[in-house]
Amino acid sequence: MSNWMEDLREVIPGNQIMTEIADRYSYSFDASFGEYLPDAAVQAKTKQEVVHIVKIANQFNIPIYPRGQGTCLSGGPLPVHGGIVLDLSQWPEQIELNADDLTVKVSPSVLTDRINEEAEKHGLMYAPDPSSAHVATIGGNLAENSGGPRGLKYGVTKDFVLGLELVTPEGEVIRTGGQTIKNVTGFDLTKLIVGSEGTLGVITEATLKLMPKPPSVQTVMVEFENVRTAGEAISRTLTSGILPSKMEFMDKACIQAVEKFQPSGLPVDAEAIVIIELDGHPETLKLETVLIENIMEEIGASNVSIPATSEEAAKIWHARKQVSPAIAKIKPTKVSEDATVPRSKIPDMMDRLNEIKEKYQVEVVVFGHAGDGNLHPNILCDKRDQEEMIRVEKAVEEIFQAAINLGGTLSGEHGIGTMKAPFMEQELGAVGLEMMKRIKDSWDPNRIMNPGKIFPEKGQKLVLRNE
Amino acid sequence: MSKLQSLQEKINYDKTFDCVQCGYCLPACPTYETMERETHSPRGRINLVKMVAEGKASIDDLEKPIEKCLGCMACTTVCPTNVQYGQILEGAKEVIEDHQVKSTSRKKMEDFLFGSFFPSGKWMDTLGSLTWFYQKSGLQTFANLLRLTKAAPLHLDKFEKVIPKQPSPKERAKRTKRYIRTRPARAKVAFFTGCVMDSVFFQTNQNTIELLLRWGFEVVLPEEQTCCGALHAHSGKVHDSIHLAKRNIEAFEEEEVDYIINNAGGCGARMVEYDHLFEEGTSWHKRAEQFVSKMKDISEVLVEVDHVYFNKLIDKTVTYQPSCHMTNVQKVLSPPLQLMKKVPGLTLKELDRPDFCCGSAGIYNIINYEDSMDILDVKMRDVCNAESETVVTTNPGCLLQMKLGIEREGVNHTMDAEHLVDLLLEADPQQR
Ligand SMILES: Cc1cc2nc3c(=O)[nH]c(=O)nc-3n(C[C@H](O)[C@H](O)[C@H](O)COP(=O)(O)OP(=O)(O)OC[C@H]3O[C@@H](n4cnc5c(N)ncnc54)[C@H](O)[C@@H]3O)c2cc1C
Ligand code: SF4
Ligand code: SF4
């Protein structure tokens, strides 16, 4: 260890190299499961520092794991094979906004919300809105291809990236894409890197696309007596010529948990609610609101409420935000999944989830971005109860299987990381996975860049327990 | 019970499971911002407590990260799963404190104390009144307090400049314990005087009484009251702090009052949680709940009454630095702002990040001087940007720290800091 450590110190300031137990444990986890002690946590604040660290790792064959703010829900930054956690969160914030071109150039450490704040000063917005945007870094968002409610109308992170700067696993600097909307020069490496979960290199800069901020928004809350009608209502809305910016779904268990945690005026008798947000010109919104009301009445929704003021609307969205803390009260451990199905299959998926819940006797609540089929079934359990956790593991496996069988995918937002790696072949097929693996191997011949992620290791299974 | 099990119980291992490691607390934590590592973040600290409880890390590993925590509780306000960080922190401090008894650090500290601290006549003069504070607070000797610092240099001289001129003991003695009204009183309140407030900011306490009287309250000062116990709890002396809580509960039971008023955000925060110190169902728990239900920050009672107007125009621009404990523990947010908005002539410019701690945090600024100053520097950038003439605060620790910040920035000719109470009295409130 001493050899590479000495080499590191040649360029990296001492206070950016952490080797004490307390520090190493502080970079041993993310927001998912498992904890792995790295040999060191090293902070990079410039491109040159990243190059130096990666070159050493590559030379000495030391695994290296990029890390933003460690909010990943699938194990992306976990140092599963020891080695170096590369902390990028302390890189000084750089946001270079070019209002005329509707673009912004950012350093990897920038918190996603900060981009939006700067954009709003110019009447613009950065559309991707993962709910962790005030905490997570853009580097993490790019690596995970994060998305949020607005993904329905505007798309996810990958739809807003024009160009990247990347330090390859061999320590070389490349630039992909550019500053322009149109660009067809060669392979689209930008899109390859986005969503690669830090396995192809370290993103050191990104050029992102901005768009005009819609002048106004309108919220509508719709209640349903059964989940199937809710599912149909979503499809019907989306084929009616209206494209809401958000369509959020909450099931009964979720609604009741929120009302118990903090009474917010949600309808506790409803089997499901869908909260819709429309954005655009005020006149258009008036029209669309009426249209939505008609659709919902026709299809048999039990109630439609249209908040008259922005405060009332804020109250509804606040209630939606309370879902996370509210369900945490049911049981302390939350296994948050994000299996995604084609929109029309939402009711079928809900049926499957109910069966799974019964079969394994686990607590499941469901909410999510129903507009794009991205459900968040959350299993509430207690990490300390080994027996329960085994049931949960089985339930999670079946949820994945159900999503794939319905033509969906393992993950809509949270990424594969360590947690979903064992299920990759089921979704992609042996050849599909092998082609991905070949790309990875040629980018990273010494397999030092974030090993243990995406690609299952021999015999790897889903484990939510700490043995 | 095995050794590890009893450690787990003491260190609140169970409570660490409420943390889902989402990181939502990271942007709120001042030490994560200035010390730039996860080890000094709420999530990192909670994880380390867990690692210690699981025997993966040692108590020594935990010591520094815990000592560097301000206890500002900004993390608890933003935490979506309502992690009881305050209890985890206190548990950790207690474990560290117990562990240290066996070490030689105590000796080192006392050497320092008696070797260099007490002989410093100049320092003792300035702090004459503080001796009284230590007696009253039950810390008794400086040793108790300063043992915490190991042999770290104390930058006490830095604070010398910013401590206000002390009233003579004669003036102090003039104070009565009871202010009865000739007209029927709006309500009867007991005033909690606090230790630092009553020694260093004696005049502000006098002004507090005056305000309460002008607002039409009858005021009593129960004689047996004592230190709130916050400093003790923050340094792992849980038993002492429980003892002090009991003494206060008893002292304030002697008078039949409607409210118990405090004017120090930190003390108030401690006292509104007295009920947490006792097991539910016990008689002490019940008595504590009674006590807590009456406890109010002065701004809370003043704002409720509107028949008071201000006689004097205060033509200046102020900014407000809320006390973290008032915001995050007492959850008193708007009353001070509402009161200031009523003062004629006053322009209030709010800070960009009012919820960012000033770094005073009890005795943190004495024990962790350098780290505290890093945090203060961040705060002062915000304060200077607000371009105000006065920084208003509601807690003695914050007040001293803001004065220190103003001194450090070299803007003491154009800016000062004062307690909300002093500002309000200056505006000469009168009943309609
Ligand atoms: C409460 C909560 C809510 C969430 N909500 C959402 C949501 O609505 N939508 C959503 O999509 N996600 C959500 N997430 C997941 C998570 O916030 C995102 O995946 C986020 O993008 C991670 O960012 P980070 O900075 O924390 O990265 P980390 O967690 O530190 O890392 C994530 C991955 O990115 C890699 N990485 C980080 N920085 C770089 C870089 N500069 N170069 C190369 N690789 C890098 C890491 O190796 C790792 O694989 C949520 C998480 C939590 C805890
Ligand atoms: S916000 Fe709360 S749950 Fe999330 S990491 Fe911080 S303490 Fe843990
Ligand atoms: S109490 Fe303050 S300093 Fe301590 S962890 Fe919480 S936010 Fe950070």
Handedness of CA A345, A346, A347, A353 (dihedral sign): positive
| Listed residues A275, A303, A325: the one ending a domain | A325
Domain that holds residue A227: 216-325
A320 with A399, same domain: the answer is no
Query: Topology of B308-431 in CATH?
Result: Rossmann fold (3.40.50)
Name the residue of chain B whose CA is nearest to A323's CA: B80
- Alpha-carbon distance of A344 to A236, in angstroms, equals 10
Q: Does one domain contain both A225 and A290?
A: yes
Same domain (yes/no): A167, A132: yes
Task: Find the CB nearest B22 among A20, A35, A71.
Answer: A71
pLDDT for position B105: 53
- Where among A156, A178, A212 does a domain terminate? A212
Query: Among A270-284, A325-339, B147-161, B403-417, which stretch is predicted with the lowest mean pLDDT?
Result: B147-161
The token pair that represents B375 in the structure block: 């945090």
At residue B69, the pLDDT reads 96
Q: Which residues pair with A365 in a beta bridge?
A: A378
Which tops the pLDDT comparison, B142 or A38? A38
CA B30 to ligand 1 centroid distance, Å: 22
B142 vs B134: CA distance, rounded Å = 7
How far apart CA A441 and CA A443 sit, in angstroms, is 5
**Same domain assignment for residues A15 and A79:** yes
A26 interface with B at CB cutoff 8 Å: yes
Is residue A130 one of the residues assigned to a domain? yes
Q: Give Cα A247 to chain centroid, integer Å.
A: 17
Contact between A445 and A438 (Cβ < 8 Å): no
- d(CA B378, CA B33) in angstroms, rounded, equals 9
| DSSP secondary structure code for residue B357 in this structure | -
CB contacts of B65 in chain A (<8 Å) are 22
Chain B residues whose CB is inside 8 A of the A25 CB are: 47-48, 51, 56-57, 61
When divided into structural domains, chain A yields a total of 4
Tell me, yes or no, whether A465 lies in a domain. no
Looking at residue B157, its pLDDT comes to: 64
What CATH number should be reported for the domain holding residue A101? 3.30.465.10
- What is the CB < 6 Å shell around ligand 3? B 28-31, 42, 45, 69-75, 85
Q: Look up residue A238 and give its two tokens.
A: 């989306």
pLDDT for residue B119: 35
pLDDT digits (tens, 9 = 90+) for A251-263: 999 999 999 988 9
Structural domain includes residue A342 = yes
Question: Which residue of chain A is at minimal alpha-carbon distance from B34?
Answer: A90
Ligand 2 contact via B245 beta carbon (within 6 Å): no
B264 half-sphere exposure, CB direction, 13 A CA radius: 28
How far away, in angstroms, is A325 Cα from ligand 2 center? 11
> Which CATH number does the domain housing residue A289 bear?
3.30.70.2190
Looking at residue B150, what is its pLDDT?
Answer: 41
A119 and A20 in a common domain: no
- Interchain CB distance below 8 Å, A69 and B23: yes
Helix (H) or strand (E) holding B308: strand B308-310
Residues A242 and A297 in one domain: yes
Kindly state whether residues A228 and A176 are assigned to the same domain: no
Contact B61 A20 (CB under 8 A): yes
Closest Cα in chain A, distance from residue B33 (Å): 9
The fold of the B3-99 domain, in CATH, is Fumarate Reductase Iron-sulfur Protein; Chain B, domain 2 (1.10.1060)
Classify the phi-psi angles of B331: left when phi > 0, otherwise alpha if psi is within -120 to 50, otherwise beta: left
- Single-letter amino acid, residue A107: S
Query: A242 vs B128, which has greater pLDDT?
Result: A242
8 Å CB contact between A69 and A90: no
- Cα A428 versus chain centre, distance: 20
Cα gap A29→B51, rounded to integer Å: 12
Answer yes or no: is pLDDT of A312 > 90.
Answer: yes
The reply to whether A251 falls in a domain is yes
Task: Give pLDDT, residue A137.
Answer: 98
Q: Does the pLDDT of residue A463 top 70, yes or no? A: yes
Q: Which residue in the set A22, A31, A69 is minimally distant from B64, CB to CB?
A: A22
For chain B, domain boundaries? 3-99, 104-160, 169-302, 308-431
d(CA A400, CA A395): 9
Are residue A271 and residue A357 in the same domain, yes or no?
A: no
In degrees, rounded to 5, the angle at the alpha carbon of residue A61 between the alpha carbons of residues A57 and A65 is: 50
Torsional class of A462: left (φ above 0), alpha (ψ -120 to 50), beta (otherwise) = beta
Q: Which residues of B touch A43 (CB under 8 A)?
A: 36-37
Least CB–CB distance from A384: residue in B17, B36, B39: B17
Dist CA B130 CA B201 (whole Å): 11
Whole-angstrom distance, CA of residue A289 vs CA of residue A279: 11
B18 and B81 in contact (C-beta within 8 Å)?
A: yes
Q: Pull the structure tokens for residue B123.
A: 């320092």
Cβ neighbours of residue B96 closer than 8 Å, sequence gap 6 or more: B59, B62, B63, B66, B67, B236
- Strand B187-191 and strand B259-262: the pairing is parallel
User: How many angstroms separate the most distant Cα atoms in chain B?
Assistant: 67
Interface test with B, best of A27, A42, A135 (most B CBs within 10 A): A135
CB A63 within 8 A of CB A85: no
Q: Quick check: A338 and A376 in contact, CB under 8 A?
A: yes
Annotate chain A with three-state secondary structure.
CHHHHHHHHHHCCHHHEECCHHHHHHCCCCCCCCCCCCCEEEECCCHHHHHHHHHHHHHHCCCEEEECCCCCCCCCCCCCCCCEEEECCCCCCCEEEECCCCEEEECCCCEHHHHHHHHHCCCEECCCCCCCCCCCEHHHHHHHCCCCCCHHHHCCHHHHEEEEEEECCCCCEEEEECCCCCCCCCCCHHHHHCCCCCCCCEEEEEEEECEECCCEEEEEEEEECCHHHHHHHHHHHHCCCCCCCEEEEEEHHHHHHHHHHCCCCCCCCCCEEEEEEEEECHHHHHHHHHHHHHHHHHHCCCEEECCCCHHHHHHHHHHHHCHHHHHHCCCCEEEECCCECCHHHHHHHHHHHHHHHHHHCCEEEEEEEHHHCEEEEEEEECCCCHHHHHHHHHHHHHHHHHHHHCCCECCCCCCCCCCCHHHHHHHHHHHHHHHHHHHHHHHCCCCCECCCCCCCCCCCCCCCCCC
pLDDT at res. A4 = 93
Crossing angle of helices A227-238/A282-299, nearest 10°?
140
Distance (Å) from the C-alpha of residue B38 to the closest C-alpha of chain A?
A: 6
A72, A30 in Cβ contact below 8 A?
yes
A253 and A239 housed in the same domain = yes
Tokens standing for A126? 């950065």
Calpha distance A295→A290 (Å, rounded): 9
Q: Which atom of ligand 1 is nearest to the CA of A73?
A: 15
Give the pLDDT confidence of A143-163 residue by residue, as tens digits.
999 999 999 999 999 999 999
One pLDDT digit (tens) per residue for chain B, 432 residues: 688 889 999 999 999 999 999 999 999 999 999 999 999 999 999 999 999 999 999 999 999 999 999 999 999 999 988 899 999 999 999 999 888 754 455 445 434 433 444 333 334 334 444 544 444 454 444 544 554 444 345 566 676 677 777 677 777 777 878 777 767 788 999 999 987 777 778 899 999 999 999 999 999 999 888 889 887 788 777 888 899 999 999 999 998 999 999 999 999 999 999 999 999 999 999 999 999 999 999 999 999 887 889 999 999 999 999 999 999 999 999 999 999 999 999 999 999 999 999 999 887 887 788 999 999 999 999 999 999 999 999 998 899 999 999 999 999 999 999 999 999 999 999 987
State which amino acid sits at residue B217: F
Choice from A132, A204, A333 to test ligand 1 binding pocket (greatest atom count within 8 A of CB): A132
Compute the nearest-CA separation of A22 from chain B (Å): 6
Taking a C-beta distance cutoff of 8 angstroms, is the pair B429, B404 a contact? no
Nearest to A280 by CA among A349, A217, A373: A217
**How much is the pLDDT for B363?**
77
At residue A91, does pLDDT exceed 90? yes
Structure tokens at A6: 């000495």
Does ligand 2 have an atom closer than 6 angstroms to the CB of B43? yes
How high is the pLDDT of residue B118? 36
Give this prediction's pTM.
Answer: 0.91
Distance B234 CA to ligand 1 centre (A): 34
Indicate the helix (H) or strand (E) that contains B247: helix B238-253
Closest CA to A91 of A49, A55, A144: A49
- The mean pLDDT of A75-84, rounded to a whole number, is 97
Question: From the CA of B158, how many Å to the nearest CA of chain A?
Answer: 27
What DSSP designation does B330 have?
I
Q: A318 and A356 share a domain?
A: no
Q: Is residue A127 domain-shared with residue A207, that is, in the same domain?
A: yes
The pLDDT value given to residue B166: 67
| Ligand 2 contact, B42 CB (< 6 A) | yes
Q: Which ligand is nearest to the CA of B26?
A: 2
Question: What CATH number should be reported for the domain holding residue A36?
Answer: 3.30.43.10
CA distance A415 to A421: 10
Q: Nearest Cβ partner of A334 from B20, B47, B48?
A: B20
Choose one of A153, A181, A212: the last residue of a domain: A212
Q: What residue in B sits closest to A27 (Cα-Cα)?
A: B38
Strand order in the sheet with A64-67: A17-18, A40-43, A84-87, A64-67
Answer yes or no: are the C-beta atoms of A172 and A185 closer than 8 Å: no
Q: How far is CA B325 from CA A136, A336, B77, B297, B427, in A?
A: 27, 33, 11, 11, 26
Interchain CB distance below 8 Å, B21 and A384:
no
Distance from CA of B22 to the nearest CA of A (A): 5
| Residue at A432 is within a domain | no
**Could you tell me which CATH number the domain at B169-302 has?**
3.40.50
Residue A445 falls inside a structural domain: no
| Pair A115, A170 in one domain | yes
pLDDT, position B110: 38
CA of A121 to the centre of ligand 2 (A): 30
* Cβ-defined contact of B23 to A134 (cutoff 8 Å): no
Contacts of B106 by beta carbon, 8 Å cutoff, 6+ apart:
B100, B147
- Provide, as residue numbers in chain A, all residues whose Cβ is less than 8 Å from the Cβ of B53: none
Higher pLDDT among residues B367 and A313, named by residue: A313
Fold matches, B3-99 and B308-431: no
- Is residue B35 within 8 angstroms of chain A, CB to CB? no
Q: What is the pLDDT of residues A218-231, one digit of tens each?
A: 999 999 998 889 98
B21 → chain A, closest CA residue: A31
